[in-house]
Amino acid sequence: MSLIVQKFGGTSVADAERLFNVAQIVTETAVEGNSVVVVVSAQGDTTDTLLAKAAEINPNGSKREMDVLLSTGEQASMALLALAIERTGFSVITLTGWQAGFKTDTAYGNARIEEIDCKRVQSELDRGNIVIIAGFQGINKYDDITTLGRGGSDTTAVAYAAALKADLCQIYTDVDGIYTTDPRLVANARKLSEISFDEMLELASLGAQVLHNRSVELAKKYNVNMEVLSSLHRVPGTKVKEASDVEKLLVKGIARDNDIARISIVGVPDEPGVAFRIFSLLAQKRINVDIILQSIGRDGSKDISFTIAHGNLGTTLDLLHTNAGMFNAKNITFDENISKVSIVGAGMATNPGVAAKMFEALYEAGINIQMISTSEIKISVLIQRSEAERAVSVIHDYFNLGTGGEKTV
Ligand code: ASP
Ligand code: MG
C-alpha cells in the first residue's frame, strides 16, 4: 500500500462536474489500495474575485485580514469536494491548515513553512479516511491564518508529501504535463516524460507557470517523487525528479518571460564602489535584479544596465532619480518592450557549443540580442518583445525539440 498526495488546482475543481471528476480520481486511487491525502486550491478564479472584492472596500487593507479572506476559497472547495466524495460512500474528512498542523512564520500573504505537524493527518489516515487539506494556508505563532503567496497550494501538497514521506505527489492541473515550450506559442511543442528538479526550477522561475517555484525547491530538498498531470485528460504526465536517472537532453525546454524591464545607467564614473551603491539602493527596497551588464570603462566613464520585474519599474526609476547624486550618472534610460527568452537543459553543463547554436538560430532569424546571461544549465537572452514568440519558435526548431531533442554525448 502506498501513500499518495494528490493536489488539484483551481480549474480542476471549478464546478460540480469537475468536482465529481476529482472525486472519481481520488476514490479510484483509494480503491487501488492507497492512502490518499488531497490538497485543493480555490475553485476557478475565486482568489482573484476575493482580491477584487477586497480592493473595492479597502485597497490598503491589513495583510492579516486579507489572509483571513483569501483562505476561505480553499476551505469552500475542500468542503465541496468532501461532499462529492461522501456520495461515493468513502469516508472522507477535511482539515484546514490549522487543523492539519501547517505552521508558518508571520509573513502574512507570503508565509514560509516553519513546521508540519502531521499527527492529525496521520491519525485520520490510520482511521481509513481520505484526508482533504486546504491548500495555500497555514497558521502562525499568534494562531493567525496565513497564506503562502499566489499558487501556494502546490507547496502545501509537496510539504505534506515530504512530511508524511509519501510515495508520490501528483499535481493535477489543466495542462497534461511540462512541455518543451508553451504549446500556445509553438504548435509542435512536445510533452516531456520527465524533467529534473533543477531544470524545472529554472523553467518555473523563467515564467513557465505550471508549478509554484517553492514547491519544486521543497521537492528537491526532500527528494519528493513528483508528477504533473491533467485532471481532465487521463494520460501520463511529466515526472519531476532527481537528475541522475533523467534523460539529459542538451536543451529540455524554452521559456519566455515578458514580465521584465531594462534600465541603463549611462555614463557613471569608472571607479570602485559605483555598482555597490546602485545595487545596495535596490536591495534596501527589496527589488530583485536579474541580468546585470557593465560596460568596460572608457575615458573615465562606464554604463551599467540591468533587468527587473516589470512591476518594479516605476519604483526603481523613482529610487534612482531621487538618489542620482550617489552615482553621478549622465543619463538613466529604460526599455519595457523587451522579453527574456531562455533555454534550459542539464546536458549543456558538460557540452560546449549550446550557446553558439542558440545565437546562430537567432542570427539566422535576424533577431538582435541585447543582453545575455548564463548559468550551468541555462542561457538567457534579452530581445525585443515583438520578436520573442518568433525567437522561441526558431530556437525550438533549431534544437529539434518537437521531434525529441538532441541527446548529450
Ligand atoms: N488559490 C490560490 C491562488 O489562486 C492558491 C493556489 O491556487 O495555489 O493563488
Ligand atoms: Mg497553480
Residue with cell 512564520: 105
- Ligand 1 touching residue 10 (CB < 6 A): yes
Distances, alpha carbon 253 to alpha carbons 72, 180, 249, 290, 406, in Å: 36, 4, 9, 20, 12
Distances, alpha carbon 301 to alpha carbons 119, 134, 262, 325, in Å: 63, 56, 20, 15
Q: How far is the CA of 169 from the centre of ligand 2 (A)?
A: 15
Residue with CA closest to ligand 1 atom 6: 151
Q: Which of 153, 173, 210, 213 to mutate to test the pocket of ligand 1 (most atoms within 8 A of CB)?
A: 153
- Predicted local distance difference test score (pLDDT) of residue 207: 60
Put residue 151 in one of left, alpha, beta given phi > 0 → left and psi -120 to 50 → alpha.
left
For the CA of 156, the closest atom of ligand 1 is 8
Q: How far is the CA of 153 from the centre of ligand 2 (A)?
A: 7
- Predicted local distance difference test score (pLDDT) of residue 405: 74
Q: How far is the CA of 288 from the centre of ligand 1 (A)?
A: 23
Q: How far is the CA of 73 from the centre of ligand 1 (A)?
A: 9
- Predicted local distance difference test score (pLDDT) of residue 355: 93
Q: How far is the CA of 352 from the centre of ligand 2 (A)?
A: 35
Residue with CA closest to ligand 1 atom 4: 47
Measured from the alpha carbon of residue 156, the closest ligand is 1
Q: How far is the CA of 184 from the centre of ligand 1 (A)?
A: 22
Distance in Å from the first CA to the final CA of the chain: 40
3-174 belongs to which CATH class? alpha beta
For the CA of 148, the closest atom of ligand 1 is 5
Q: How far is the CA of 74 from the centre of ligand 2 (A)?
A: 13
Q: How many helices (H) and strands (E) does the chain have?
A: 11, 20
Domain ranges of the chain: 3-174
Q: Which three cell numbers stand for residue 237?
A: 504526465
- Predicted local distance difference test score (pLDDT) of residue 127: 97
Q: Is the dihedral of CA 88, 46, 133, 22 positive or negative?
A: positive
For the CA of 153, the closest atom of ligand 1 is 8
Q: How far is the CA of 10 from the centre of ligand 2 (A)?
A: 7
- Predicted local distance difference test score (pLDDT) of residue 304: 96
Q: In terms of residues, how long is the chain?
A: 409
- Ligand 1 touching residue 47 (CB < 6 A): yes
Quote the pTM value: 0.87
The torsion angle over the Cα atoms of residues 379, 383, 387 and 390, rounded to 10 degrees, is: -10
Return the SS3 of 147.
strand
Nearest to 191 by CA among 228, 155, 216, 220: 228
Measured from the alpha carbon of residue 40, the closest ligand is 1
- Ligand 1 touching residue 156 (CB < 6 A): no
For the CA of 154, the closest atom of ligand 1 is 8
Q: Are 154 and 240 in contact (CB under 8 A)?
A: no
* Rounded-to-integer distance, Cα 39 and Cα 134, Å: 6
| Strands (DSSP E) found in 47-116 | 92-95, 102-104, 113-116
Q: What are the two backbone dihedrals, phi and then psi, of residue 8, each rounded to the nearest 5 degrees?
A: -115, 125
* Rounded-to-integer distance, Cα 215 and Cα 201, Å: 9
Alpha carbon 370 to its chain's center: 26
Neighbours of 123 (CB within 10 A): 11
Beta-bridged to residue 3, according to DSSP, are 35
Helix (H) or strand (E) holding 230: strand 226-230
- Ligand 1 touching residue 73 (CB < 6 A): yes
* Rounded-to-integer distance, Cα 230 and Cα 177, Å: 7
Q: How far is the CA of 151 from the centre of ligand 1 (A)?
A: 4
- Ligand 1 touching residue 42 (CB < 6 A): yes
Question: In whole angstroms, how large is the CA radius of gyration of the chain?
Answer: 23
Q: What are the two backbone dihedrals, phi and then psi, of residue 92, each rounded to the nearest 5 degrees?
A: -140, 150
Nearest to 319 by CA among 291, 290, 279, 292: 279
Measured from the alpha carbon of residue 157, the closest ligand is 1
| Strands (DSSP E) found in 258-348 | 261-269, 289-294, 301-308, 331-335, 338-344
Nearest to 85 by CA among 28, 135, 134: 28
- Predicted local distance difference test score (pLDDT) of residue 245: 60
Helix (H) or strand (E) holding 380: strand 378-384
* Tens digit of pLDDT at every position of the chain (409 positions): 899 999 999 999 999 999 999 999 999 999 999 999 999 999 999 999 999 999 999 999 999 999 999 999 999 999 999 999 999 999 999 999 999 999 999 999 999 999 999 999 999 999 999 999 999 999 999 999 999 999 999 999 999 999 999 999 999 998 889 999 988 889 999 999 999 999 999 887 766 678 888 999 999 999 999 999 999 999 999 999 987 666 677 899 999 999 999 999 999 999 999 999 999 999 999 899 999 999 999 999 999 999 999 999 999 999 999 999 999 999 999 999 999 999 999 888 888 899 999 999 999 999 999 999 999 999 999 999 999 999 999 999 999 999 887 766 5
Measured from the alpha carbon of residue 172, the closest ligand is 2
- Ligand 1 touching residue 135 (CB < 6 A): yes
